[in-house]
Structure 1
Amino acid sequence: MAASEKKYAYTTLITRVSYLAGVIILAHTLKKQGSKYPLLVFYTPSLQDAGVKALELEARKLNLILKPCEMLEPRPDIKITLIAERFTDTWTKLRVFSVFDYDAVCYLDADMAIFKNMDSVFSRAADLPSDWIAANHACVCNTDKDDWAPSEWNIDNCAYTPLSHPDALSHPTQVNPDSRPTYHLLNSGMFLYHPSKQLWDAMLHFFDTTDKLSTYNFPDQDFLADFFRHRWVSLGWQYNALKTMRYIHPKMWRDDEVVCLHYIVDKPWVARVSADGIAGFKGKDGVTHGWWWNNYADWVAQRESEGAVEILKLMEQHSAKVDGSEEDDADMRAIGSRVQAFPSNKAGKENAAPAAANAEEAKDGGDEEEASSPFRKKVLGERGHGPVVHSQRGGETPP
């Protein structure tokens, strides 16, 4: 079968209506940039009726194939230590591996937008082994020197630091068994894979039997880093351009090379860009958030020209108000103004991340050495939902 006859698709997951604007603009930008392939949208019973209705209204226009699915949750005896309650849903991202009628699928997080034709990513599928994935590294620069980050998370240990334009586009840092531990960390916002029943069964077996789930603060990402250890290849940064790379890795970044922009940390649809061009939790994301709002305005103009009143009202209810005021919704605040508050949230300490618990112990005169161990602390934030760093010694090996 010729490569042109291969059956490809994109896919994403939505579990809460607070991400509705993200999914719609992701789909809109895929179509706008001329993608030939559908977007499979997995959604769970937790998605409110308004979200389902919006997806149904947009399905034909944006080449969506809707995939209702159940939540994926660990077995009852596993004690979960997530960094934030909202990450409970993201175990379900693994269900995207259960579509067996495609030769290759590219997963895209719901907080992404496309700025060049993305279909070129499928050119990597032919050389990708059937039980591997292609993905991007996590950025581990930790430029803010956050106390909760592992000690090895620094600029020198980031897989993006040695790269510069234009070689970074075609020659990303690759991983091998001898690579430093931080090079083994992937960002699960985008990954390319060959779905098969054999692979899905192996993933479910690992999910149902391993005790490692209790160590994962970022569920799907930590799982994928473990399961595909030594079985993933890295792609150019342009396919998963974390918005923070624009100022953390300027040697590598070029605005006009971005294919897929990943709006990590706070989401652009939660707040408008201020009149002075400031946006983002650190005020540095005005340009990239502005790109998202330009695409939103483009989508709105199209729907207004069609007289699509119902979908316009639904989107207005789940994106930032024109006057700049904050949406009075807990889920929206959790991905907006309070996105950086969750590490210090002390509610339900038994479910707090070990890093947070260790920090509290240190303040209270606990074991200082244990609190500072790079293999105890968990990571989050600007680096793009960084996964747990596991010791190279011993441990369970995924199938």
Structure 2
Amino acid sequence: MAASEKKFAYTTLITRASYLAGVIILGYTLKKQGSKYPLIVFYTPSLKESAVKALELEAPKINLILKPCELLLPRSDLKITLIAERFGDTWTKLRVFEVIDYDAVCYLDADMAIFKNMDSVFDKAADLPSDWIAANHACVCNTDKDAWAPEEWNIENCAYTPLSHPDALAHPTKVTPESRPTYHLLNSGMFLYHPSQQLWDSMLDFFNTTDKLSTYKFPDQDFLADFFHNRWASLGWQYNALKTMRYIHPNMWRDNEVVCLHYIVDKPWVARVSADGTAGFKGKDGITHGWWWDEYAEWVKQRESEGADENVKLMKQHAAKEDGSEEDDPDMKAIGSKVQAFAANKVGDENAPPAASTDGATGGDSSPFRKVLGERGHGPVVHPNGSSKMAQ
């Protein structure tokens, strides 16, 4: 079957209204850059009604398919250790593997924007085995010397360090069974896969039975690297261009080669670029954050010209004000310029479960969200007494 006859799609996940601006600009830029395929937006009951309404209004304009889903969290008997509380609901990202009626699917995080046509990523699907994924390496340079990072996380052990332009685009560092451990770590912001019931069932069984989840600091990312160990192929950095690569890996990075920009750490929509051109938690992201705000301004102008005033009103509720002030919202602050301070708001040191977030995205042991997937993932099932058995 020719690639043009294949059925492809993109997916993303939103659990909190603080990511609404990210999802809408992701969908807007996908379409703007000429993508032929829809963006399936998974959203949980924790998403505020105003955000759902905004997605519904945008869906026909930017080719969104909205798909409600339940949250996915580990068994209640596991003691979870995360870098920050905000990662507590990212386990639900694994639900995108439930979409089985496509030949290939490309997952994209809600904090991304597209600057070139992304559809070329599906060309990689032809050579991808059915039970593999294609993804990008995690950058393990750890230039900030974060205390939680293992000793081997350094520039010398980063899979991007040996690369330079232009070879890095088509010849990323390969992952082999003999590769150093850090080369086996992937970044889960973007990954390509062949969905199937068999793959989802296998993944679900591993999720509901393994005790390894208690060791993961980046929930879905560590899970995928473990589950697909020696079964993932590396892609060029341009498909998941971490904004920090611009100054950490300048030998490789070129602005005009960025296909998909990943706004890791603090998110651009939480704060405007300062008058002196600085942005980001380290002040080095003025250029890349500026790109996001350019797309936002274009989106606003287009919607206003269409008379889509409600779309604009809802969007502006979840983006920094024009006067430069940030929203006084705990969820927005948790992904803003002081995001590093929120790393202290983590679970693990006290071996406690995730604390409840302001929009109910995660909860403690008594929370209705302390659930895991049931048989084949069709709805949540509470496991009494910390049972790890699959629902019958």
Give the alignment's TM-score, normalised by structure 1.
Answer: 0.87
1:4 Cα deviation from its structure 2 partner = 0.7
The residue type equivalent to 1:128 in the other structure is L
Look up the match of 1:141: 141
SS in 1 for 2:127: coil
- The residue aligned with 2:332 is 332
Counterpart residue identity of residue 4, structure 1: S
Which runs of 5 or more structure 2 residues have no equivalent in the other structure? 354-392
Which residue number in structure 2 is paired with residue 163 of structure 1? 163
Percentage of identical aligned residues: 84
Name the counterpart of 1:84: 84
CA distance in 1, matches of 2:347, 2:73: 22
Distance 1:81 1:182 in 2: 20
Q: Specify the alignment match of 1:313 in structure 2.
A: 313
Tell me which amino acid in the other structure corresponds to 1:174.
K
The answer on whether the counterparts of 2:41 and 2:67 sit within 8 Å (CA) in structure 1 is yes
Specify the alignment match of 1:95 in structure 2. 95
| Alpha-carbon distance in 1 for matches of 2:346, 2:67 | 36
Cα displacement string for residues 319-377 of structure 1 (whole angstroms, at most 9, x for unaligned residues) = 00100112100000000033101333478842479xxxxxxxxxxxxxxxxxxxxxxxx
Residue identity in the other structure for 1:31 = K
CA distance in 2, matches of 1:97, 1:189: 14
Q: Report the equivalent of 2:214.
A: 214
SS at match of 2:101: coil
What SS does structure 2 have at the residue aligned with 1:201?
A: helix
Residue equivalent to 2:386: none
- Structure 1's 346 and 28: CA in aligned 2 closer, same or farther, altered over 3 A? closer
Q: Is the Cα contact below 8 Å between 1:82 and 1:352 reproduced in 2?
A: no
Alignment of 1:37-186 (within 5 A): 37-186=37-186
Aligned partners of 1:351 and 1:281: how far apart in 2?
28
1:99: Cα distance to partner? 0.6
The more displaced of 195-204 and 70-79 is 70-79
Deviation per CA, 1:162-181, whole angstroms, max 9, x where unpaired? Answer: 00000000000011011001
Cα gap change, 1:348 to 1:178, in 2 (>3 Å): closer
Deviating 4+ runs (over 6 angstroms): none
Cα RMSD (Å)? 1.3
Which amino acid counterpart does residue 329 of structure 1 have in structure 2? D
Q: Does the Cα contact within 8 Å between 1:346 and 1:352 map onto a contact in 2?
A: no
AA aligned opposite 2:228: F
SS at match of 2:55: helix
* 2:23 corresponds to: 23
- The answer as to whether partners of 1:132 and 1:231 remain within 8 angstroms in 2 is yes
Q: Distance in 1 between matches of 2:333 and 2:214?
A: 27
> Could you tell me the TM-score, scaled by structure 2's length?
0.88
CA distance in 1, matches of 2:26, 2:346: 34
Instruction: State how far apart, in whole Å, the 2-side matches of 1:150 and 1:73 are.
Output: 25
Report whether the alignment pairs 1:201 with 2:201: yes
| Closer, same or farther: CA 346–191 of 1 in aligned 2, 3 Å | closer
Report how many residues are paired: 353
User: In 2 relative to 1, CA 193–164 (structure 1 residues): closer, same or farther, beyond 3 Å?
Assistant: same
Distance 2:324 2:152 in 1: 39
Contact 2:81 2:348 in 1 (8 A): no
Q: CA shift at 1:146, angstroms?
A: 2.8
AA aligned opposite 2:71 = M
Query: Which residue of structure 1 lines up, in the alignment, with residue 388 of structure 2?
Result: none
Distance, in Å, in 1 between the alignment partners of 2:346 and 2:105 is 39
Amino acid at match of 1:137: H
- Unaligned 5+ residue runs, structure 1? 354-399
Q: Return the alpha-carbon distance in structure 2 between the equivalents of residues 204 and 190 of structure 1.
A: 20
In 2, Cα distance between equivalents of 1:235 and 1:33: 20
Give the distance between the partners of 2:116 and 2:146, measured in 1 at CA: 34
Counterpart for residue 281 of structure 1: 281
Q: Using the alignment, how far apart are the partners of 2:156 and 2:347 within structure 1? A: 35
Query: Which whole-Å CA distance do the structure 2 matches of 1:94 and 1:145 have between them?
Result: 29
Question: Is the CA contact (8 Å cut-off) linking 1:78 and 1:211 kept in structure 2?
Answer: yes
Q: Deviations over 1:9-52 (max 9, x none)?
A: 00000000000000000000000000000000000000000110
Structure 1 contact 29–295 (Cα < 8 Å) conserved: yes
The question of whether the paired residues in 1 share the 8 Å contact of 2:15 and 2:44 is answered with yes
Mapped to 2, the partners of 1:75 and 1:120 lie a distance apart of: 38
Quick check: 72-81 or 87-96, which moved more? Answer: 72-81
Distance (whole Å) between structure 1 residues aligned to residue 312 and residue 146 of structure 2: 40
Q: Residue type matched to 1:127 in 2?
A: D
Q: Deviation per CA, 1:77-120, whole angstroms, max 9, x where unpaired?
A: 11212222221110000000001110000000000000000000
Alignment of 1:356-367 (within 5 A): none
**Residues 125-157 of structure 1, C-alpha deviations (whole Å, 9 max, x = no match):** 010000000000000111223333211111111
Q: 1:11 — aligned with what?
A: 11
- Aligned partners of 2:288 and 2:49: how far apart in 1? 30
1:346, 1:111 → 2: CA distance? 21
CA–CA separation in structure 2 for the residues paired with 1:216 and 1:350: 15
